[in-house]
Structure 1
Amino acid sequence: MNGHQLFSFEKGVPLKQHIGVDYYLYIKAFHLIFVITYFAGLFYMPRLMVYLVEASDRPQAESDIIIPQLQLMMRRLWQIITVPSAILGLIFGLCMLWINPFLLGKSWMLIKLVFVGLLFLYHIKTYRFYKAFLQGNCQLSARFFRIWNEGATLILFAVIFLAILKDSIHWIFGLLGLFGLAFLLLLGIRLYKHNRNKNG
């Protein structure tokens, strides 16, 4: 199935007639691949930050070994996986919009782009935390980074539901679903902390 055939399954969205159409499915596949690897990096980075905060509370002999290793893991994760995936995912996403600019006239796509903007802000803030940890001057708690870790989860849920359900989802129900998910995630964090303190 080529790019021309694809759009007969997407509610008759008009499409520019140029050479890029034939490669739309390949571009979409690469976009999804790099978005997945990008989110993998965003999910794991706050976990490494949690481990770094907890390592700083260990005896000096242990922390002197653990902290440099975790900082090295953070550096590799950010520079080798997270940032390249973000750039490539963005490039392929822009190519999709260039091939089919009529998507920008869809309300679900505009809302999705708002969440992409929020993801960009989340990325910048995570980068600042990352630099602070490498410099050894981040004073935030492990609990904060457990909560911070769920920010990417909420954005991922929003983007996926918007991309799959498109115009069939009402924005009010979507927002209620996100708030419900946020509540469940925070509840899970509190239960985890309670059980850890109880068993620790």
Structure 2
Amino acid sequence: MNYLILKALHIIFMVSYFAGIFYTVRILVYYKDTDDFENPKKDILRQQYAFMAHRLWNIITVPAGTLMLIFGMGLIFINPELLKMPWFHIKITALIALAIYHYWCWKKVIQLQKLNQQSLPSKNTALRQANEIATFILFFVVFTVVLKYALLEYWKQLTLSFVGLVVLISLVVKFVNRRKK
């Protein structure tokens, strides 16, 4: 029973963490969108977006990520056999990619605080594309956990399907961005 409770808490905080990560990068995109605005609108929006990113990161994203990690470690502690399972190694690899992405987001939030309402040096299209990285990691981790042992048996089909999904989402994002212009 304790294992199932920890698993439920792990999933709840995973959802909260990803919500925070998704919205953090979206705020960066909105901040960058203000480049073409006139003052005082530009300054007001930039100040608000910087405030929102800082609060979101420190009040939702980092605490949810920390609790997600603690409950995940609790699952490993209760069931150390997880460490011997091949699908779990794949999940850990994806989580390392997520940690790198988290670090990138954290640096961007700090950069936003230091800009003092100046423009982000990143290109808007790069930020929009970076916004999709967390989506791909989320898809990858969820499919890895749900499919577990089927990953080993059907890895070619699953890899092609995942690559197809990444391409499809990327094309949809590009199409939507072109229509906005």
TM-score past 0.5 threshold: yes
How far did residue 138 of structure 1 move?
2.7
Letter in 1 for 2:104: K
How far did residue 89 of structure 1 move?
0.3
Task: Give distance in 2, aligned partners of 1:71 and 1:95.
Answer: 34
Larger Rg: 1
Please, what TM-score do these two structures have when normalized by structure 2? 0.93
Indicate the SS of the match to 1:35. helix
Task: Give distance in 1, aligned partners of 2:99 and 2:30.
Answer: 24
How far did residue 56 of structure 1 move?
2.7
Letter in 2 for 1:168: A
1:44-79 per-residue CA deviation (whole Å, 9 max, x = no partner) reads: 111100110011320021111111111111011000
Task: Give distance in 2, aligned partners of 1:121 and 1:44.
Answer: 17
Instruction: Quote the residue 1:126 is aligned against.
Output: 105
More displaced stretch, 135-144 vs 111-120: 135-144
How far did residue 128 of structure 1 move?
1.0
**Structure 2: tracts of 5 or more residues without a match:** none
Task: Give distance in 2, aligned partners of 1:129 and 1:173.
Answer: 36
Instruction: Quote the residue 1:5 is aligned against.
Output: none
1:125-146 per-residue CA deviation (whole Å, 9 max, x = no partner) reads: 1111111112116311221111
1:12-48 per-residue CA deviation (whole Å, 9 max, x = no partner) reads: xxxxxxxxxxx11111111001000000011111110
Q: Which runs of 4+ in 1 moved over 2 A?
A: 169-175
Q: How many residue pairs were aligned? A: 176
Instruction: Quote the residue 1:40 is aligned against.
Output: 19
Please point out which of 164, 172, 176 is paired with 2:160: 176
Please point out which of 128, 137, 158 is paired with 1:146: 128
Indicate the SS of the match to 1:55. helix
Indicate the SS of the match to 2:67. helix
Contact 1:56 1:67 in 2 (8 A): no
Task: Give distance in 2, aligned partners of 1:57 and 1:72.
Answer: 20
Instruction: Quote the residue 2:73 is aligned against.
Output: 94
Instruction: Quote the residue 1:14 is aligned against.
Output: none
How far did residue 165 of structure 1 move?
1.0
More displaced stretch, 109-118 vs 162-171: 162-171
Report matched runs for 1:79-118 at 5 Å.
Answer: 79-118=58-97
Please, what TM-score do these two structures have when normalized by structure 1? 0.84
Give % identity.
36
More displaced stretch, 174-183 vs 111-120: 174-183
Instruction: Quote the residue 1:191 is aligned against.
Output: 175
